[in-house]
Structure 1
Amino acid sequence: MKRFIAVLVFAVVAFSCSKEKGNMVVKGQIKGLKKGTLYLQKMNDTLLVSVDSVKLFGDDKFLLSDNVESPVMYYLTFDGNTQEKKIMFFGEPGEITINDNVEEFGWKPGISGSKNQEVMDKFNEINQQFKLKRLDFIAKDMEARAKKDTAAMDSLEKEYKKMVRRRFLFTTNFAVANPDTEAAPYIALSELFDANLYLLDTINNSLTSRVKSSDYGMRLQKFIDDVKAQEKK
């Protein structure tokens, strides 16, 4: 019996120690999340896969990890969550701290320890203003259409196109100003996929050789190559 218990204890210890920490450690606290499973996820091709998870029982602090070969976007979710409620953050080697609460999960989490995430935070702060302006344009356009006010509709369309051009130029200039971060090609891919190819080329040509060889750097190059190939047909 004693031998069985000793073997069992050894097996439990061996199992708990078998999981090694990756070169990225994500830790923090989700206030109010006392029970459930927290998942660390990232995209694998077109699928969202879980790379680590932790069960919480009475303690809302967590620690997750993964091996990051190239900085990419990660997602923090918990069971029972909807697809919309998640924390997105730029993962990279090192220790990243994420603090949030279960009631407003993913709304305004506190994230520190990621250089790329700092760049994304600065970008999102200004880009959010463009998103609000877009919603304002949509509301005004719906009102004009309801009134069949063609003059207002034409005016709004012209102003909207100007706003889109301003957003494209801001996004391009922002990415060019951060050529040594993987956030730059990510921003190009996520925000300028429908922009003039010249803007994408401008960003791509500004990237450092290290970033060009990163995951998002190579994706940006492939995207540009594919667009150019399509234009030749």
Structure 2
Amino acid sequence: MKKIFTIVIITLLVACSKSDNKTGNVELTGNVEGLKQGKLYIQQLKDTNLVIIDSIIISGESNFETKFQIEEPQMLFLSLDRGTTESIDNSIHFFAEPGKMKIETTLQGFYANAKISGSENQKVYEKYLKIKTNLNDENLVLLAKEIKNNVIKNAAITEEINNKRDKLTVRKYLYTANFALVNPKYEVSPYITLTEIPDANLKLLDTISKTLDPKVAKSKYGKRLNEWIKERKSTEEK
């Protein structure tokens, strides 16, 4: 009986350690299949530095749960401390929103196998990433042709590759701009504008900024986009 009582107490203590009495408007649960020991960090980009806003200790179980506070929807990073390993697959970027979110992945494919749910911005962002992946694949095909052509140095092939690459770049810019314009209700729109096409035509950037919903325009990325446009105008329109 005493042994059973001790086991119950230990179980309760372990259960309490999972939540760690944390509070916040984001409730994040998840699983890293295959991970038995390690640390997870929730990080936020401030200026050019990643700042830890929460940490999770994994010991014995691959499931985790935590809570943390964010002021508005924004891109965060779930990073894995593998200890002595030199793997570069250690970070998942996800568009966090207040509410309940879930991230499921594996130790072997921490970023590649990640499945994220509970965020409308994340859903929209993943739609954008699918098209971006297709464009990246086309660029890789061109790169492979370029490497082969470096041996034979055929001028006609070089010109063909350059023309196709230029057209691919234009497609990326047009697709990104259009995607931002048709999704003005989501904070991900000014985010992809800033991260993917910051050097786009000023009139185009201005149009995207003015199309944003008032709430999004006042968000972290909405305000940053407006500031970026003003910075460019001050230097380019002199």
| Common topology (TM > 0.5) | yes
Gaps of 5+ in 1: 1-11
Within a 5 Å distance, the mapping from 1:5-16 to structure 2 comes to none
Indicate yes or no: 2:221 matched with 1:216: yes
- Quick check: 1:176–1:203 contact (8 Å CA) kept in 2? yes
- Quick check: 1:40–1:64 contact (8 Å CA) kept in 2? no
Quick one: distance in 2 between partners of 1:83 and 1:95? 28
Quick one: distance in 1 between partners of 2:20 and 2:40? 20
Quick one: distance in 1 between partners of 2:220 and 2:182? 19
Within a 5 Å distance, the mapping from 1:21-36 to structure 2 comes to 21-36=23-38
Indicate yes or no: 2:106 matched with 1:101: yes
> 2:81 aligns to what?
79
Q: Which amino acid aligns with 2:69?
A: N
Gaps of 5+ in 2: 1-12
CA gap of 1:205–1:87, structure 2 versus 1, over 3 A, is same
Secondary structure, counterpart of 1:22 in structure 2? coil
- Quick check: 2:80–2:90 contact (8 Å CA) kept in 1? no
- Quick check: 2:33–2:106 contact (8 Å CA) kept in 1? yes
Q: What fraction of aligned residue pairs are identical, expressed as a percent? A: 37
> 2:235 aligns to what?
230
> 1:41 aligns to what?
43
- What is the TM-score normalised by the length of structure 1? 0.89
The 4+ residue runs of structure 1 with deviation greater than 3 A are: 15-20, 81-84
- Quick check: 2:89–2:110 contact (8 Å CA) kept in 1? no
> 1:152 aligns to what?
157
- Quick check: 2:106–2:113 contact (8 Å CA) kept in 1? no
Quick one: distance in 1 between partners of 2:199 and 2:137? 20
Question: Which one of the candidate residues 187, 190, 193 is aligned to 1:185?
Answer: 190
Question: Which one of the candidate residues 152, 173, 197 is aligned to 1:168?
Answer: 173
Deviation at 1:40, TM superposition (A): 1.0
Let me know the Cα RMSD of the aligned residues: 1.9
Q: Which amino acid aligns with 1:116?
A: N
Indicate yes or no: 2:55 matched with 1:53: yes
